[in-house]
A and B are shown apart, each in its own frame.
Chain A
Amino acid sequence: MLVARGVIQPTPITRKYRVKLAYEERHAPKVFVISPRLERRPSQPELPIPHTYGSSKVGEERPCLYLPESGEWTPSHAIAITIMPWFLTWLVDYEIWLATGEWLGGGAPHGSSDGDCAPSSRKGAA
């Protein structure tokens, strides 16, 4: 298991985030926001954060960055040039959602927003 930690700031007007990336061979990489923690919109606390795994569990959300089994990411892709830039753009979209209530980053829905990991990683774990 590979774990990387660091601080990232997607653009000069976003916050700086302490983040963690965990990668286990043949599993999907997982990204975590350590601090400041991801939060729901104060004016709409019943609404989960869009495009997150574990979105029903406040405090345990983590970004869903790509469509599993679509080929957008496979173990042959370098994390540094796929997962990392997607993490950056996701954080920009997250802040804009937090500010305006609108998710402008696009994306695809999945059946359950509570899935703890993407289908591709489940397969890998089997």
Chain B
Amino acid sequence: MAAPSYPQVTEHIDFLLAEVAAILQLTGEQHQLAVQHYGAVAEYLSAQGSPVARFDPLIYPQGSMALETTVRPLRQEEYDLDLVCQLLRTGLDAMSVYNMVYARLMSHNTYATMVEKKNRCIRINYAHDFHLDIIPAEPDATRGGTAILVPDRSLVSWTPSNPKGFVGWFRGRCAILKRAAKAEAVPSPTPAAQKPALTIAVQLMKRRRDLFFSDATLAPRSVVLTTLAGELFQGTESVVATLAQILAGIQRRVMREAPNRIVVCNPTNGDERFCESFDGPGRYEAFKQFVEQFGREVQGLLSLEGIPQLEERLGVLFGGEPVRKAVKSYGALQKAKRDAGTLKFTGAGLGGVSVLPGSGGTRPVPPNTYFGAA
């Protein structure tokens, strides 16, 4: 059920956008490595002699790793991966819990050299791959369910959170319309995995944000963009249409709330206000500017002519290197289909070849070898 106002060109731009997102995300190997590493951390925290052990620590991913919205950072090599280290109720105060987990990690010869204190998490640096940001937490008895309390060092107290609830909510939003599985068998290299359009849109919003803000302190937080995207997504299988929908939706909300700021909370815990990050000077203005410009940029993608123009434009929006790779995978896909004998064409109208499933007619393109100097 693609939005009817979007022409067929979106399907092909969507392919490139999905490729860009896939190129920027944590690789399968890195994901596995992260799981191994946090498994080892959990083991060390629960080992005999660990003061944390009696609270039965359980480590699970939250944020982009759990949402599958990771995006390679612009200014560093390492991805930031957020993990919750959930304990049973400790009966201790927030700082004691934080310090207990920190002290245990510092008692390990290797971790001691990798650990860094942050406001809400304890960061373990794995050079060249990622940081594991480990957030100590315990159940929030008052709010119940998946709600947790997290020590906040600047508040010197607990702060409410509900990352599990948030992940469940976001997955539910993604599923309001699953991208239709394309029936045609596609040879390797396969197009980007059939991720939900909403997930890809969030990755691209984060990437555009990283490139848009030369001053990273003005940039909206990922969780703000993710929440707004989830709230404003109305269900379409097109990534371009999803982005357009979200960005227009944010602008409508901004106008409706003016002169106040929009409020962005964890949809599963209203006390967890994500929009506090708008508080800094100039930040809300910068956010509005970003959304407005990106909205125009997305619309502009529909009126470009030719792959070189599209490559140049997408390169400005999301970075030259991932976009070049994405364009090459479009070419590699056509070649793979030609080699497999599955590329179809039509001579009707302007003609066309079926680089993507569902377009380009019914007749197979016979085998050929371009001649002449390469």
Contact = CB atoms under 8 A, between A and B. Distances in A.
Interface of A: 7-16, 48, 50-53, 55, 63-68, 70, 72-73, 77, 80-82, 84-86, 88-90, 92-93, 95-96, 98-100, 102-110, 113, 115, 118
Contact of B351 (A50, A66, A84): A84
A55 to B, nearest CB: 6
A109 B369 CA distance: 10
Given A10-B352, A96-B330, 20 more contacts: A7-B350, A8-B350, A11-B12, A48-B373, A50-B373, A55-B372, A68-B371, A70-B369, A81-B363, A84-B351, A85-B365, A89-B353, A93-B370, A96-B307, A99-B308, A102-B328, A102-B331, A103-B374, A105-B335, A109-B373
B345 A64 contact: no
B307 A88 contact: no
Contacts of B365: 85-86, 88-89
B334 A84 contact: no
A9 B350 CA distance: 5
Given A96-B330, A106-B335, A80 B347 contact: yes
* Residue of B307, B353, B367 with most partner-chain A CB within 10 A: B307
B344 to A, nearest CB: 9
A89 B310 contact: no
Contact of B353 (A10, A65, A81): A10
Interface string B10-40: 0111001000000000000000000000000
B367 A72 contact: yes
Nearest to B326: A100
Nearest to B363: A81
A71 B343 CA distance: 20
B353 A85 contact: yes
Given A8-B351, A12-B359, A89-B365, A95 B306 contact: yes
Interface residues of B, number: 47
Interface in B319-336: 324, 327-328, 330-332, 334-335
Given A11-B355, A51-B372, A86-B368, A96 B331 contact: yes
B308 A50 contact: no
27 contacts: A11-B355, A12-B352, A14-B306, A48-B373, A50-B372, A50-B373, A65-B368, A67-B369, A72-B366, A80-B347, A81-B363, A81-B366, A84-B347, A84-B351, A85-B353, A89-B338, A89-B343, A92-B334, A96-B327, A98-B307, A100-B331, A102-B331, A104-B332, A105-B335, A105-B338, A108-B371, A110-B372
A7 B347 CA distance: 11
Contacts of B308: 95, 98-99
B311 interface: yes
